[in-house]
Amino acid sequence: MFMKKNICTVLSVLLAFSMCGCRKISDENSGINSPGLSGTEISDTDSTGGKISESADISVTKTGIYISEEYKLPENLDFLYGLAAVNDKIVVTGSEKVSPDYSIYLYDEKSGKPRSYSPGGEKIRHIYHGTVSNDCAYLCLQNENSVLQLLKTDFNNDLTVASEILQNYSFAVPYIMEPENNGDISLIYSGSADGRTGLYKDTYDKNTLELKNTDLITDEIPADENTLSVISDSENGYFVLTEQERMDYCLMRISSGGQTVFSEYDSPDDIGGIYAGMYKTEDNNPVMIAVDAEDNTIYHADVFDKDTGTTIDRFDFSLSGENIYMADGTENEGAEFSFTQSGMLFTMDPDTQTCLQKLNLCELTGKENAHFEVLSDSDSGMLFFSSVDEKNMKSSNSNIWITDAAGKVLSELKSDNAFSPDYAMSGNCIYMVKKLNNELIITKTDTESMSLSEIKTDLSEIQNFSPEHIEVNSDGNIIVSSPENILFLNSKGEITDNIIQGNLDNNEFISDIAATGSGYALLKWSPEGTKILYADDISSKPAELDCEIKNISSFANTIDKSNLYMVTSEGILKYSAPDTEISFIMKWADSEISEVTSDSDVFLTDCGNLVWTSFDNTFVYREADEETAGKMKDKEIITLACDETKDFINRAVAEFNRTNSGFRIEINDYSKFNQNYTDNSSFDKLNLDIASGKIPDIVIGGNSIDTVHFSRMGMFADLNEFLETDSELNKDDFFTGITDLFSADGKLYRLPLSIYLNAAICREGLPGKENSWTFDEFFSADNLFYMTSREDMVRYLITENLEEYIDFSGMACHFDDIYFSKLLTYIKENAESEEEITEKLSSETAYSEYRSRFSERLCNAELCNIEYADKLTEYSELSPFTLRGMPSVSENIYPAVSSDNFICISERSEHKDEVWKFLKLIMSEKYQDTIGENQKHIFRFSIRKDSFDKMISECSEEITADAAGKLRKAVESSNRAALSDSHITGIINEQTSLFFSDAQTIYETVNNIQNQVRTYLMEIK
């Protein structure tokens, strides 16, 4: 969730791509190859690979230089679905501000203030009911794992004193919670037991919450009816409201003995609305509240006779706005019932038909714009909570704001539907799409008339269509795609054609579409790389474009329908269909803009501006004037090479480029050399370039880049020389042990931007110490692993643990040790092949068994990379655990630190001082605090002690205190770096695969690995 306030116009800069060396930006322009059409049909899965490479004759015919302006969004915007631009208008779609917190409060009638408390640290997904009795609150809730729980919280010590997982709810949640005369707690729910469907009551002990008994109240509720509400009558019976079809209601009264007193269908005759709540009057007559079907600010209250079920009275009341929360089934003795709206607590008296504002809950709790729901209302106080279910919120109604270029809201349009974050632009209109039930709903926003209209399409004849992308071509035809289907609609929403990609492999899907003239294009993703498929008109099946450009992340949305615009890691390309020409309209390297990532939406306006939005950025890019462009060209270039760019690196490069007057960084992202998504050509190419002397000023990468070897050859600078003299950044800022682990001969050639742990998560009680174990202790442990592949065991126990088998300082190896032979035999006998694991996962019970592997004692350990903090919570909730290093000859080898984000400075760089400024920037709190901020969970860890502690603190709701303590201890005490070498890894993988397939003996395998690695070490010594 985010909202931008009072944002000033700022300059943002770009990551750029370049080969090695210092130079100035060139103005050279030249021609470009013209791709043809290969004739491959849409179902063809063959691929020619393809990439932008040094050999490809692809150059720039025109490159625009752009600067960026950050846009102000509407101040009441909380969650941004997307943004688009037409002419001089910006259209924003999102939801208004809401609180994402699950906070529970008890409002004390005497003090007039609420008390907040936590239900025992439980992570709550939804709360159904609550009641207060003798300083204790009882809650029926659904936790984050969708498990129903009954919790009892003592207000005096703010602790949950008992909890019981509810077992008997077969297909419904409880409708009411109520105290029995003896203080026990009962839950009423619709379910099935012993082959009977009906209304049941479970009774739980008030102290232990143990289930005491289950009673069937009535079996007269058909299985196909939806039970909406249950409240108690005045004689220990119940009023039950069900719905058989939409707005077709039945009110029943069930006596304490289970007999039906009355059962009235369709009462009253004209409810005229959607059920919202159920209550009683002072005379114990049931009252049903319904929201008017036409106007959701009008509520109908229908009062029924408690003895006959006939309608006694109806009155209406009006509430402005939406989102009313009611205390369904409240047990107060008076006539009033309570509800909340827009943070205000109201009471309604059905007898006098008056509505009274009682409390401003937002003001009392300090939660501005929160939504509150009443759980109980009694003499002891009122229990309520504020909540927003994030998933439900994203699928709730959307607002559409139309702003001018400065961000001033010109119009706010209310929509009844939420939309996928994809847009199409045509003329003055923007189109958005959503599926609701069996209808495709396309909302058309006219930015000139500031109006909203809908186009609906019946999808009842098309199975499993989930719209993800929408386009409108120059003829007004609408194209909508799902991962496997394309729908062609006319302007009225009528289906004109439907192309089904029935021959797509399981791992292929349509990742984007674009309209071009009267035709269209598809971006098809496959493990072999992305393919562009193009058709001249919508009546034709698309054929694959025969071009070398394969690193396309998405198509740019544009009003210009005569050309196809493609977003790549190097810039934005234009494909001119009539001329079959491809050209860059801009390159990130030539503009002060952060590279647009694959999860971004890119729009091209008819004014030539770029609009880019992701979940936390909104920018409009304008072509720079001559003076600004000239200043950019005059800057010296610092080259940065990496195996793959990452968001926080991009942001740091952008800030450096913006603030440094004399230098700017260009990035050469070697991932463009990968043929497909499983290819590692980027590593090989970068290693080869560095080895041949093409060393950039900065290198960022992981263990697949042979930084250890290059450091020993004197190619990288000793960072200690900078740390010892710098007044702003020094070793004391970091976990000192970690910097020592990545040093060699007392020199620090590489510094990890972020780290993770290579560890074994073990159940307490296994042989060995708390944080380490020897090979003998490892081999003596029973039932260690479950569904662990041979590939994973080799990786964790050997190839990422090379320090156990290789003395890198002396360039010697000892794979011929007896423990290595025993380890290979252990892996062969105890690990499983990928094929075996895949076959197991195909069974219906495999996933649940894997999730419960620790609690069911199917295994006692797991080898893993601990990359985010809350991974440990999964284990701590199942069983007490310890973090151990890989088994070793030594008794004290703790979890190893690893990184895929090392930064190195070239010893040959002519601008080390300027490069050090960038390293200081990216290692500052500002950027180290944000490592992994684009992830839902904290991803990777900072080596800065302050940033590490801040990340764990911010993750306090996702990780237990015990797990957090063990994680920090493991990082502090780590005494081994998870070293790896691509050449040695290749040798080990090749030889062990021969052993596992019985192609050679254990003796031959060990001997071959020892000899080949020893030869390699002698060559690079």
Question: How many Cβ atoms are within 10 Å of 607's Cβ, its own excluded?
Answer: 14
The pLDDT tens digits of the residues spanning 831-882 come to 988 888 877 777 767 766 776 777 777 888 989 888 876 667 666 665 678 8
Query: What pLDDT is stored for residue 399 in this prediction?
Result: 76
The pLDDT tens digits of the residues spanning 205-251 come to 888 888 888 888 888 877 667 788 888 887 888 898 888 776 778 88
The pLDDT tens digits of the residues spanning 256-301 come to 888 888 887 655 455 667 877 788 887 888 888 888 877 777 788 8
What letter represents residue 463's amino acid? Answer: Q
In terms of Cβ atoms closer than 10 Å to its own Cβ (0-12, 13-18, 19+), residue 81 is buried
Cα dist from 835 to 831, 842, 853, whole Å = 12, 11, 20
Q: Which residues contact 811 (CB under 8 A, 6 or more apart)?
A: 1017, 1018, 1020, 1021
Query: What pLDDT is stored for residue 851 in this prediction?
Result: 67
Confidence of residue 599 (pLDDT cuts 50, 70, 90): low
Residues, the chain = 1021
Question: How many Cβ atoms are within 10 Å of 799's Cβ, its own excluded?
Answer: 23
Query: What pLDDT is stored for residue 500 in this prediction?
Result: 59
Collapsing DSSP states into helix, strand and coil, what is residue 967?
helix
Handedness of CA 558, 563, 567, 571 (dihedral sign): negative
In terms of Cβ atoms closer than 10 Å to its own Cβ (0-12, 13-18, 19+), residue 292 is middle
Six token digits for residue 208: 């232990």
Cα dist from 300 to 295, 323, 361, whole Å = 11, 16, 25
For residues 78 and 22, the model is more confident at 78
The pLDDT tens digits of the residues spanning 971-1002 come to 988 988 887 777 899 999 999 999 999 999 99
Range with the poorest average pLDDT among 594-603, 731-740, 774-783, 993-1002:
594-603
Average pLDDT (578-590) is: 73
What letter does residue 8 receive in the DSSP assignment? P
The pLDDT tens digits of the residues spanning 661-682 come to 899 888 887 877 766 656 667 7
Phi-psi region of 932 (alpha: psi -120 to 50; beta: other; left: phi over 0): left
Task: Give φ, ψ of 22 to 5 degrees.
Answer: -95, 135
Query: What pLDDT is stored for residue 156 in this prediction?
Result: 67
- pLDDT > 50? residue 52: no
Query: What pLDDT is stored for residue 887 in this prediction?
Result: 95
Number of H helices, E strands in the chain: 20, 63
- pLDDT > 80? residue 420: no
- pLDDT > 70? residue 490: yes
Q: What is the DSSP string of 901-942?
A: -EEEEBTT-S-HHHHHHHHHHHTSHHHHTTTTTTSSS--SB-
Query: What pLDDT is stored for residue 10 in this prediction?
Result: 20
The percentage of the chain sitting over the pLDDT mark of 70, rounded to a whole number, equals: 71
Of 303-307, 517-521, 903-907, highest mean pLDDT: 903-907
689/253 Cα distance (integer angstroms): 81
For residues 917 and 954, the model is more confident at 917
Range with the poorest average pLDDT among 164-178, 474-488, 826-840, 951-965:
164-178
Of 168-172, 406-410, 452-456, highest mean pLDDT: 452-456
Confidence of residue 814 (pLDDT cuts 50, 70, 90): very high
Cα dist from 309 to 246, 254, 333, 421, 980, whole Å = 20, 12, 20, 48, 77
Average pLDDT (612-638) is: 73
Place of tokens 């409810």: 271
Query: What pLDDT is stored for residue 826 in this prediction?
Result: 96
Range with the poorest average pLDDT among 5-9, 189-193, 728-732, 1012-1016:
5-9
Cα dist from 669 to 597, 676, 699, whole Å = 13, 15, 11
- pLDDT > 70? residue 157: no
Closest CA to 686 of 753, 730, 639: 639
Closest CA to 749 of 799, 792, 672, 690: 690
- pLDDT > 60? residue 347: yes
For residues 999 and 552, the model is more confident at 999
Q: What's the predicted TM-score (pTM) here?
A: 0.56
Average pLDDT (84-89) is: 75
Query: What pLDDT is stored for residue 158 in this prediction?
Result: 61
815/802 Cα distance (integer angstroms): 10
Query: What pLDDT is stored for residue 380 in this prediction?
Result: 59
Average pLDDT (871-899) is: 82
- In the predicted model, what is the mean pLDDT of the chain? 75
- pLDDT > 90? residue 550: no
Rg (CA), the chain: 33
Q: Which residues of 151-161 are buried (b: 16+ CB within 10 A; e: fewer)?
A: bbbbbeeeebe
Closest CA to 184 of 171, 169, 166, 201: 201
Q: Which residues contact 376 (CB under 8 A, 6 or more apart)?
A: 129, 130, 131, 132, 327, 330, 331, 382, 383
